[in-house]
Amino acid sequence: MMKIIDFTKGFLKNPLAHWPFVNLSRAFYGNTAGAKQNLYGRAQLQYFRLLGKKDRSGSNARQMRKVTEAVQRIHHTGLYLIDKPVIATTNVIRIREKIELAFRDRISEGGYIATVDSNELTERVPEVMEFVRSNLICNIIQDFFKSAFHIDQIVYRMTTYVPDEILQDKEIYSNFWHCDSSPTSELALFVNLVDVDENTGPTNAISKVKTKLLVRKHFSERNSFDPFAAYVDDERDVTRFIGPAGSVLFAQTTRCLHRASIPDPGKVRHWLSIRLYPKNAPMVTDRVYKDPVLRYTHGRH
């Protein structure tokens, strides 16, 4: 009886987040972002692709080729890795050191993850915006959205080794496969702030085509460590975000299954997660801008 009452209350409050819409959305869109997130995200992308206005597009022919290649890859797979620093390595190191100094108490607190959210981060280390302002990155984002954009969130994260007896079958820090529950118009930009190799716990991600297959057939929720090991070819299907400090991964994390991996003992991963949405010019890249409409559609990362 209680179950029926709870369901009815929840359904009346937020029908699209309940049965049957959750299941329909999974089957139809092939991701677990949610019905509202898919409907809103698609409409927003279409609107800006038709009517959007870019802000600036200064780039030479060589860069334009790179931009086109990147945008095509994002359209086809939902992922694009640039395994070279997108700003000078000295600047990446300077930014990381400034973050470590500003938030050293939190970072050395213990625990397996440290997080600094947008407001604190941009207030004390405004240089983090440099990654988005790099000409190449800026042009890729605008070409993908066909419009200017804004930064909805920019978060610093540090992840460390988790001993097996703690890990067992638990999710410690986004280490279960999942799609983010945000509007699917979101484009995520992950930035490595240290050199990341196989052993540093890189982000793992699966293309949106393969994600569709998995979600429609084998995956329903974020509840187990590796629910579809049998259906995923590790070499072919999984992109690992490996690269030097300053390398970046573009990812449609609402449409691509992804997870954190666990660093080896003694290894630490420092990185930024930047969330972007289309916006008409003028662009906002000097601060985080919270679009009032998006507020109603966000779920879990």
Ligand X SMILES: O=C(O)CCC(=O)C(=O)O
Contact flag: residue 258 with ligand X (CB under 6 A)? yes
Contact flag: residue 255 with ligand X (CB under 6 A)? no
Quick one: 26 or 67, whose CB is closer to ligand X?
Answer: 26
Of the candidate spans 10-18, 129-137, 229-237, 252-260, the one that interacts with ligand X by CB under 6 A turns out to be 252-260
Contact flag: residue 260 with ligand X (CB under 6 A)? yes
Q: Please tell me the count of residues contacting ligand X according to CB under 6 A.
A: 9
> What is the end-to-end Cα distance of the chain in Å, rounded?
32
Contact flag: residue 253 with ligand X (CB under 6 A)? yes
The answer to whether 246 and 85 have CB atoms below 8 angstroms apart is: yes
> What whole-number distance in Å separates Cα of residue 279 and Cα of residue 292?
12
> What whole-number distance in Å separates Cα of residue 203 and Cα of residue 242?
8
Minimum distance from CB of 115 to ligand X (Å)? 10
Of the candidate spans 7-15, 115-123, 216-224, 256-264, the one that interacts with ligand X by CB under 6 A turns out to be 256-264
Contact flag: residue 106 with ligand X (CB under 6 A)? no
DSSP 119-157: HHHHHH-GGGGHHHHSHHHHHHHHHHHTS-EEEEEEEEE
Give the containing element (helix H, strand E) for 234: helix 234-237
Closest Cα to residue 146, out of 280, 291, 248, 37? 280
Binding mask 140-179 toward ligand X (x if CB under 6 A, else -) reads ----------------------------------x-----
Quick one: 96 or 258, whose CB is closer to ligand X?
Answer: 258
> What whole-number distance in Å separates Cα of residue 162 and Cα of residue 268?
11
Contact flag: residue 254 with ligand X (CB under 6 A)? no
Minimum distance from CB of 173 to ligand X (Å)? 6
- Among 118, 203, 207, 285, the residue binding ligand X under the rule CB under 6 A is 203
In the chain, the amino acid numbered 33 is A
Contact flag: residue 186 with ligand X (CB under 6 A)? no
For 129, the token pair is: 């915006």
For 40, the token pair is: 């809103």
Residue 265, phi then psi, degrees to nearest 5:
-55, 135
Quick one: 95 or 262, whose CB is closer to ligand X?
Answer: 262
Minimum distance from CB of 58 to ligand X (Å)? 31
Beta bridge partners of 270: 158
**Phi and psi based region of residue 60 (left: phi greater than 0; alpha: psi -120 to 50; beta: remaining):** beta
What is the binding site for ligand X (CB under 6 A)? 174, 180, 203, 253, 258-260, 273, 301
